[in-house]
């Protein structure tokens, strides 16, 4: 896979994730917008405000019955006075709580109007009550009281139904919201995991592509790009540490003859055998590369000219010792090598390469199958 293709997959992946995350955010925002009427409402206190006065209605009825039986009893008089005042207060409290709530005004409007009407009638009752205390007949007062009690009971009951049904709706909305959030969190987790897996795979692919782009298919050694990826760092390290750095360029002798005589596949096999000999001879830290058709190189950190010469000579010997049986062709193979060593300041790859190349040329012109130092 090419680097550009991987990058474009990365972009598409990022775009896909961003789109998905954006869609999720819009869905949640829309739902939250719809549910906001219920989310912020606290119906608990409203329920208490509506339910509590229902008890007062009952108590008001009892006080009226007591008045009918014992109209002059000071205890009954004081209870009724208290209720007349208290019911009026509650009507104000409930009206305020309803208006402050998030209930739709159309749902409670009729109840509110009825409560206000009751409140007006209550103030009339207070006047009638003064007359009853002064000795007038309580019948009119009691009749009015019963009417008010009935209206209050009906209104409180309607309001209680309304608030309870709104509280139930709120519970359902909150439950749904909770489930939606849980699903969202799960989705986001899945997304994150998916993204991490994709990134991990992408990185692995990228690493593979990088490796492939720096490998020679035939010999499995590094290629010129691989060599260059070490060139600068090795040179800088040598300049800093003052440690020697060596480069050997090598070229199989008369390789064209091998190809022409035994065929290209035989030539390929010899290239592989040579690469194996090179790998077996060099150290782990040395950088090995096939830099041309039948040209190879070894880049050796911490290696002076003697060390480089030894390795070059060992390799030359090893190659020339390869039997025809080992090579698979009815000929022997030799290699020419050019060595260049740099000490601190002259560790510049370009210059080292030119010196090693020149030495290799000398090795060729001096008869091949030899090592020369540049």
Ligand X SMILES: Nc1nc2c(ncn2[C@@H]2O[C@H](COP(=O)(O)OP(=O)(O)OP(=O)(O)O)[C@@H](O)[C@H]2O)c(=O)[nH]1
Binding site for ligand X (CB under 6 A): 218, 251-256, 259, 264, 267-268, 271, 293-294, 364, 368
Least Å distance, CB 300 to ligand X, is 23
Evaluate the CA torsion angle 28, 30, 32, 34 in order and state its sign: negative
Catalytic member of 175, 294, 295, 313: 294
Nearer to ligand X, 144 or 334 (CB): 334
Q: Which contacts qualify for 23-27: CB closer than 8 Å, 24 or more apart?
A: 24/184, 24/187, 24/188
| Beta partners for residue 222, in sequence order | 215, 289
Nearer to ligand X, 207 or 264 (CB): 264
Nearer to ligand X, 267 or 301 (CB): 267
Least Å distance, CB 325 to ligand X, is 19
Check if 294 is active-site: yes
Residues in the chain, how many?
374
- Give the distance, in angstroms, between the CA of residue 200 and the centroid of all CA atoms in the same chain: 13
Measured distance CA(26)–CA(82) in Å, rounded: 55
Least Å distance, CB 213 to ligand X, is 18
Least Å distance, CB 295 to ligand X, is 8
Residue 214: which of 204, 227, 205 has the closest Cα?
Answer: 227
How is the chain split among helix, strand and coil, in percent rounded to 5?
75, 10, 15
Nearer to ligand X, 264 or 310 (CB): 264
Nearer to ligand X, 298 or 333 (CB): 333
DSSP string, 198-227: HHHHHHHHHHHHHHHHTB-TTT-SB-HHHH
Burial 162-200 (b: 16+ CB within 10 A, else e): bbeebbeebeebeeebeeeeeeeeeeeeeeeeeeeebee
Nearer to ligand X, 245 or 252 (CB): 252
Least Å distance, CB 294 to ligand X, is 5
Both tokens of residue 308? 């480089």
Measured distance CA(166)–CA(164) in Å, rounded: 5
Which residue has the CB atom at the shortest distance from ligand X? 293
Least Å distance, CB 293 to ligand X, is 2
- Give the distance, in angstroms, between the CA of residue 146 and the centroid of all CA atoms in the same chain: 68
| Beta partners for residue 247, in sequence order | 299, 340
Active site residues: 294
């Amino acid at each position: 896979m090419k680097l550009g293709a991987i990058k474009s997959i990365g972009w598409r992946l990022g775009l896909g994730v961003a789109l998905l995350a954006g869609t999720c955010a819009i869905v949640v925002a829309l739902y939250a917008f719809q549910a906001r009427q219920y989310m912020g409402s606290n119906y608990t206190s409203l329920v208490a405000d509506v339910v509590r006065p229902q008890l007062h209605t009952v108590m008001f009825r009892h006080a009226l019955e007591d008045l009918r039986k014992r109209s002059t009893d000071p205890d009954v008089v004081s209870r009724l006075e208290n209720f007349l005042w208290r019911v009026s207060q509650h009507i104000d409290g409930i009206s305020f709580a309803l208006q402050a709530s998030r209930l739709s005004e159309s749902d409670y409007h009729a109840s509110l109007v009825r409560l206000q009407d009751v409140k007006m009638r209550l103030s009339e009752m207070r006047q009638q009550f003064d007359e009853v205390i002064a000795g007038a007949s309580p019948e009119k007062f009691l009749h009015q009281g019963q009417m008010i009690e009935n209206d209050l009971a009906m209104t409180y009951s309607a309001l209680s139904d309304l608030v309870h049904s709104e509280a139930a709706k709120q519970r359902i909305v909150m439950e749904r919201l909770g489930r939606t959030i849980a699903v969202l969190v799960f989705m986001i987790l899945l997304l994150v995991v998916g993204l991490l897996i994709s990134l991990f795979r992408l990185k692995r692919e990228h690493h593979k592509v990088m490796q492939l782009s720096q490998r020679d298919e035939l010999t499995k050694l590094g290629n010129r790009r691989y060599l260059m990826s070490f060139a600068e760092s090795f040179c800088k390290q040598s300049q800093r540490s003052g440690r020697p750095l060596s480069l050997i360029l090598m070229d199989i002798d008369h390789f064209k003859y091998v190809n022409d005589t035994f065929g290209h596949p035989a030539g390929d096999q010899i290239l592989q055998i040579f690469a194996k000999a090179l790998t077996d001879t060099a150290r782990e830290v040395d950088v090995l590369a096939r830099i041309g058709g039948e040209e190879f190189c070894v880049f050796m950190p911490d290696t002076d000219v003697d060390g480089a010469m030894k390795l070059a000579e060992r390799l030359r010997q090893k190659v020339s010792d390869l039997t025809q049986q080992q090579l698979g062709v009815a000929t022997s193979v030799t290699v020419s090598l050019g060595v260049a060593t740099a000490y601190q300041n002259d560790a510049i790859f370009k210059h080292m390469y030119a010196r090693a190349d020149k030495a290799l040329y000398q090795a060729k012109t001096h008869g091949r199958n030899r090592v020369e130092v540049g």
